[in-house]
Amino acid sequence: MLSFIFAAVSGRIVPKDRGLFFSHQSLQQDCNCDWITTPGACNTPDGTYCWSYCCKGPVPTPSPGPVPPPGDYKPMDLTQEYYEFELTAGRNLTKSMANGFSRQGGMRYHSTKKVDLLGGGLRFTADISRVNNLVNANLYIVIPGTLMGGSHFYCDNSDGFVKKGNACIELDIFESNGHSLSATTMHTKVGTGDGCDTWGCRQITYLNGDIDGNRPIDVEVNVSNDGDIVVLFRQGGKTVTAFQNAGGWDGAAKAAVVDGMRNHGAVVVSSMWTGWVPPNTSGTGDLNGSHYTVSNLMYSGRDKGNTF
């Protein structure tokens, strides 16, 4: 079983390598339905295109996607990454998903394209109401090709990726501890204890006031042309600023975002895992019993090519 390794630094427990939990392969192929001959194979829907296709028959042509809000916002399609044991066990492989997902248990999705979000941003709805304590449901942005090279479609700025020489800019739009709080953290350089580095510059939002973690949350991410990032949570007519002008979020950090977006393009990632949660707690929550939904994920920006 894969596990997290932690290091205590200045009173903070730092997760070494979140990426160890996942296969870094992008799986794009037609559905192979041979697996449904196994008794009980169709008993538990897993939310994928291929489960619906194989267990329920061909899926009708989908209706048109959601109408973009005012401006040039467009749906951002996601594809799921699979655990290695699912691959070797012959589990169904999925095509690209729509611009969201609703899943139970551990998973990770990434956008099918890289994008430059300067002058635009992201909008989506996150429902973490059924995410259990000590389980981390999240959505973040990585920029492959930056910092230490950060290869292909996945890299981040965790300690583990730094040690492997594969770190890249990581912009955590939110990481939750169950549905009680959320951290928004920016990592634009390698290092520890110096601004928006591997430890990151962070702001915490407690989800027990104007924003309630027991209800869906509309998230808005605004990325200005100079690289500044503002993250807003909206619910029931109320708005809370989740990230703006954090300590360490300086001109150099914003310039790194500009360079990364323009020259490399960003990948949007969303996952749910357990082992570390904000503010800074190690421990294992009930991941298999947690359910996480991201819906209506939209972006405004320029396409920079596919991630597969």
pLDDT at 238 over 70: yes
pLDDT digit string, tens, across residues 83-122: 444 444 444 444 556 899 999 999 999 999 999 999 999 9
Rounded to the nearest integer, the mean pLDDT of the chain is 82
pLDDT in the model for residue 62: 35
Query: Which range is least confidently modeled, 75-84, 191-200, 277-286?
Result: 75-84
In a domain, 94, yes or no: yes
Strands (E), 82-168: 101-104, 107-111, 113-130, 135-143
pLDDT in the model for residue 46: 65
pLDDT at 284 over 50: yes
In a domain, 1, yes or no: no
pLDDT digit string, tens, across residues 34-62: 666 666 667 666 656 566 556 655 433 33
CA distances from 36 to 41, 90, 134, 229 (A): 5, 11, 34, 46
- Which of these, 236, 227, 204, lies nearest to 125 by C-alpha position? 236
pLDDT band at 9 (very low <50, low <70, confident <90, very high): very low
In a domain, 242, yes or no: yes
Phi-psi map region of 59: left, alpha, beta (phi>0 left; psi -120 to 50 alpha): beta
In a domain, 108, yes or no: yes
Split into its structural domains, the chain has a count of 1
CATH number at residue 145: 2.60.120.200
In a domain, 169, yes or no: yes
Mean pLDDT of 67-90: 66
pLDDT in the model for residue 152: 67
The SS3 of residue 12 is strand
The CA-based dihedral angle spanning residues 197, 198, 200, 204, taken in that order and rounded to the nearest 10 degrees: 180
For residue 108, what are the domain limits? 6-306
DSSP 60: P
DSSP 211: S
pLDDT in the model for residue 216: 98
- Work out the end-to-end distance of the chain between its first and last CA atoms, rounded to an integer number of angstroms: 28
In a domain, 168, yes or no: yes
Query: Which range is least confidently modeled, 25-29, 86-90, 127-131?
Result: 25-29
In a domain, 247, yes or no: yes
Q: What percent of the chain has pLDDT over 70?
A: 71
| CA distance linking residue 259 with residue 143, whole number of Å | 10
